[in-house]
Amino acid sequence: MQANHPINIEALLTHVPLFNGLAPDEIARIARGTREIHAAKGEILFHKGDSCTGFHLLVYGQVKLAFTSPQGSEKVVEIISQGQSFGEAIMFMDKPYIVFAQTLSDSLLLHVSKAAVNTELDRDPVFSRKMLAGMSMRLHQLMNDVESYSLHSGKQRIIGYLLQELPEADENGINVSITLPTNKGVIASRLNLTQEHFSRILHELTELGLIVVEGRKIHIPSVPKLRKHEG
């Protein structure tokens, strides 16, 4: 990892939703079991099979969680964005990682040790509920993914993804634009599609006049019209 100037870990932890409401002394205890990780784009944070000694919080940047098939193809399980955490469930299970994590852009992460987490779980039932809520949301998203892969066409998955990326103010807008958070290959894998299939569907949506593609920028002439094709 790159060497950078030290950061104020306690100050960063106070802005993490998981730690909202914790007293300064509680934040200080967690900070003592936390280390910062500065990672350049493309760095591997951990490999499948590595032991898990805590969980990660992404302060800024972007991280993909993925695994590689025996044939060498990659499947992206999740794209982690700023403010999100990952690895909590594996940490509690005392199991090795079942995916690998790689940065998609220059990133700053915090690694919170299992020992620090367990100390606060023993002290504060509210913190326990927050940890459970976070993992429950992750499980709910996984169930949504399974439903989407099983019941929705590739076109429906892509339209659903584009609609999810819209800012709240543009959910029913006209002539709105979104910028894809990462390259199309990663997003295609996340949606359980090949990159070729993903590109073909974008082309179909373009021919229908539902979107205009300019690199990673997607223009949507009419969100209500696009939504009608979601199914």
Task: Place 4 in a pLDDT band, splitting at 50, 70 and 90.
Answer: low
CATH of 9-151, one of 3.30.470.10, 2.60.120.10, 3.90.105.10, 3.50.50.60: 2.60.120.10
What backbone phi and psi angles, to 5 degrees, belong to 105? -155, 170
Residue 1 has pLDDT above 50, yes or no: no
What's the pLDDT tens digit per position in 157-188? 999 999 988 887 777 889 999 999 899 999 99
Residue 3 has pLDDT above 60, yes or no: no
- Compute and round to an integer the Cα radius of gyration of the chain: 20
* Residue ranges of domains in the chain: 9-151, 154-228
Residue given tokens 């892509």 in the structure block:
158
Cα separation, 190 vs 193, whole angstroms: 8
Read off the tokens for 116. Answer: 């620090």
Q: What is the pLDDT of residue 106?
A: 96
What's the pLDDT tens digit per position in 124-142? 888 888 778 877 877 887 7
The residues with which 177 forms a beta bridge, in sequence order, are 219
What's the pLDDT tens digit per position in 23-60? 888 889 899 999 999 999 999 999 999 999 999 999 99
Highest CATH level, class, for 154-228: mainly alpha
Find the mean pLDDT for residues 9-20.
81
Cα separation, 191 vs 80, whole angstroms: 14
Round the average pLDDT of the chain to a whole number and report it: 88
Full 3-state SS string of 138-206: HHHHHHHHHHHHHHCCHHHHHHHHHHHHCCHHHCCCEEEEEECCCCHHHHHHHCCCCHHHHHHHHHHHH
Query: Considering only CA atoms, which of 55, 110, 60 is closest in space to residue 82?
Result: 60
Residue 151 has pLDDT above 80, yes or no: no
Task: Please state, for a pLDDT cut of 90, what percent of the chain lies above it.
Answer: 54
Query: Considering only CA atoms, which of 85, 10, 4, 98 is closest in space to residue 46?
Result: 98
